Amino acid sequence: MFDTGTTTFMLLATSLVMLMTPGLAFFYGGLACKRNILGVMIQSFVSLGITTILWWAFGYSLCFSGGENAIIGNFDKAFLNGVSLDSLYSADKRFPELVFISYQMMFAIITPALITGAFANRVTFKAYILFLILWQIFVYYPFVHMIWGGGILAHWGVLDFAGGIVVHATAGAAALASVFYVGSRRNPDSKPNSIPLVAVGTGFLWFGWYGFNAGSELSVNGITAIAFLNTDIAASVAAITWLAIEWFRTDQKKPTFIGLLTGSIAGLATITPAAGYVTINTAVLIGFVAGIGCYLAVQLKERFQWDDALDVWGVHGVGGVLGTIMLGIFATKTINANGADGLIYGGTDFFFKQIAAIVISSVYAFIFTYGMLYVINKITPVKVTAQEEEMGLDAALHGEIARDSY
């Protein structure tokens, strides 16, 4: 009944995407200052628990049941009602629906965790828990349904192979809104506490991203293979591009490890919406554009003094936007017959649909996030006190420290 090869592959892809959340915790934990390592990391790990519960209770149902050509699904599959051991994902992709539920749950876990790097060192844990729950329900779930669950954007013809719109653009816009709401840190120039930890996190993220992108084909075929290779190529080109820019452009004229690592994440985020729809040569171009575009976005953030502590908007938000635009330009049905032809292949309508989708998702995520934080602040303080920030959130909020001594 089940295709054991596809089932095995999807279980592996699910495991790889799960690994990305601890990887993100290590990545952000290394970038954070030494008094806020655990405060940043717990925000990623707690999503593993809370999001899993939400997904089982009603998240999967709201994303992937009912509501055809709509904004959101319904509760038909709440608490996984009607899903049995024998339930197929689909007639042509013969693996258990339980595996698909698990795979998509890993996306839901990491997406709100991405946002946390923007407001590092500034947000109370109680407020973050409310943020995590509400943001998923009112931002993430609707866009999953609209694009991947047969909703209105899917019927328009909008494409997003693995999350340029659903994951990165929405998270990036929410990150920027969060920064505007909570304001700057008292010490915005704090340095990373452990670059080796950032490298470990990057390695986990890069490795996991193969499951994120190649797994999104939900099958094992040539598109799976090209999505895998496109992911690696774009990350590699973006990493070297960022490294080269810093090497020749900055005052110290030195190549930095942080620059190389950040560039790779920018490339991974930017190729995500296009991985299974574009040629390998286009993936090279996307990596180059990601390295330049995301670097310039981070410089713009610095110029305007937006305290996006760990560059979530500049890397993930701008990366998701650039990748979606590049998809609208370079997608080709010669690679994926279920995709579309982009602007250079005559797909003018498709290009403008992609632009419209990225604008709608980014604007909505920004406005809702800002308003949601305002409401949460009426329930419990969003921003930590000056004393708590000075002490560090590890000790002030969690009563723990990452190391015995500094």
Write the pLDDT tens digit of every residue in 320-351: 999 999 999 999 999 999 999 999 999 999 99
231, 275 contact by CB (below 8 A): yes
Confidence tier at 107 by pLDDT (50, 70, 90): very high
Map residue 364 onto helix, strand or coil. helix
The pLDDT of residue 405 is 61
Task: Give CA–CA dist 224/16, Å, rounded.
Answer: 15
Residue 399 is assigned to a structural domain of this protein: no
Dihedral angle of Cα 34, 40, 42, 43, to the nearest 10 degrees: 170
Model's pTM, two decimal places?
0.97
**Tell me, what CATH number does 110's domain have?**
1.10.3430.10
Over residues 236-247, the mean pLDDT reads: 97
User: Is 406 contained in some domain?
Assistant: no
C-alpha distances in angstroms, 332 versus 50, 91, 130, 154, 340? 39, 26, 41, 18, 6
Residues 137-165 pLDDT 10s? 999 999 999 999 999 999 999 999 999 99
Q: Is residue 338 part of a domain?
A: yes
Q: Is residue 92 part of a domain?
A: no
Residue 94 in any domain: the answer is: no
Structural domain range at position 267: 4-78+102-393
DSSP code per residue over 148-205: HSS-HHHHHT---SSSIIIIIIHHHHHHHHHHHHH---SSTTPPPS-HHHHHHHHHHH
Partnered with residue 383 across adjacent β-strands are: 123
The per-residue pLDDT for 145 is: 98
In the chain, the largest separation of any two C-alpha atoms, in whole Å, equals 62
For the cut 90, the answer to whether the pLDDT of residue 177 exceeds it is yes
Domains: count for the chain: 1
Cβ atoms of 357 and 158 closer than 8 Å? yes
pLDDT tens, position by position, 5-27: 999 999 999 999 999 999 999 99
Using CA atoms, how far apart are residues 299 and 100, in angstroms rounded to an integer? 39
Q: Is residue 378 part of a domain?
A: yes
- As a whole number, mean pLDDT of residues 95-118 equals 98
Domain membership flag for residue 88: no
Task: Tell me if 400 is assigned to some domain.
Answer: no
